[in-house]
Amino acid sequence: MKRALGVAFAILLAVLAGGAAWYLRQARTVPVEETELPDEDAWLDQLYSQNPRESEDAAAHVSRLGAKALPAILTTLRDPGAERERVKAALKACGLLGPDAAPAIPDVAARLPEPDVTAEAAIALSFLGRNAFAALKDSLSSDDPVVRREALRSIGKLKDRAPLDGRAVVPLLIAGMEDEHEGVRAVGATYLGIIHEASDEAVPALIAGLADPDVEVRRASAAALASFGADAAPAIPALRKATGDKDENVAREAGRALMNLQK
């Protein structure tokens, strides 16, 4: 019995060995398909891909590259003939890199006046650190209200991301509330509420905003006043009046602000 088992085991080993030898011969004879490596800047074409997996992979690749991604970014931003999607991808990459992409600040700022990438350029600058503040501040004097609006919005974001001293930012937001364009005024009011500093200067500006002819400015002003708490007490009479605003959203925000101030 033992001899029979031994013979069977030996046969099994021989079969297995033969199978392994055949597999190795086949592996050596079947050609291995080579994977073509993508171009060094192929990720620029994938950052705005409609395929979420591709765009996520491209974003992760940018993060891994770090400052090594800058040459491709700068080449794209400096190319007047670059396709819009590629420019947007370069701007998005700047935002992903953050302060590591600070050398690109002048090139990003140069794209701000271009209507189809204004928002993307402003967003990118809001991530590039305090050195981006000067470029955004300069853009507040643009003749284009969209550039002024997006630059002011990014200054508001940059305040905490950089961070920046509120004393440098609040006056710009207050000045924004006096802009001729309602979109700029609304952004100024919104970020005064988000930052909620320098109440002695901000609250009077927001009280004036409650009487603005634009409904969004009035609504943003009411919501912003709520964030100042007791420091917004001087606004109580104006907020009470605003609860009767013809726009229900303004009236609702004014009521919420009053409740918050009177806690």
Q: pLDDT tens digit string along 34-68?
A: 333 346 788 999 998 889 999 999 999 999 999 99
Q: Is the pLDDT of residue 8 over 60?
A: no
CATH topology classification for 41-147: Leucine-rich Repeat Variant (1.25.10)
pLDDT in tens, 209-246: 999 999 999 999 999 999 999 999 999 999 999 999 99
**Tokens coding 56:** 């996520």
Q: Is the pLDDT of residue 6 over 80?
A: no
CB count, 10 Å around CB of 149?
Answer: 25
Q: Is the pLDDT of residue 14 over 90?
A: no
Show Cβ contacts of residue 108 under 8 Å, excluding neighbours closer than 6 positions: 77, 91, 94, 121, 124, 125, 128, 132, 135
Predicted TM-score of the model (pTM)? 0.84
* CATH no. for 165-263: 1.25.10.10
User: Is there a shared CATH topology between the 41-147 domain and the 165-263 domain?
Assistant: yes
Tell me the pLDDT band of 180, cut-offs 50, 70 and 90: very high
**Stretch 92-100: mean pLDDT:** 97
C-alpha–C-alpha distance, residues 99 and 198, integer Å: 28
Q: Is the pLDDT of residue 154 over 90?
A: yes
**Tokens coding 21:** 């030898």
Asked if residues 77 and 108 have their Cβ atoms less than 8 Å apart, the reply is: yes
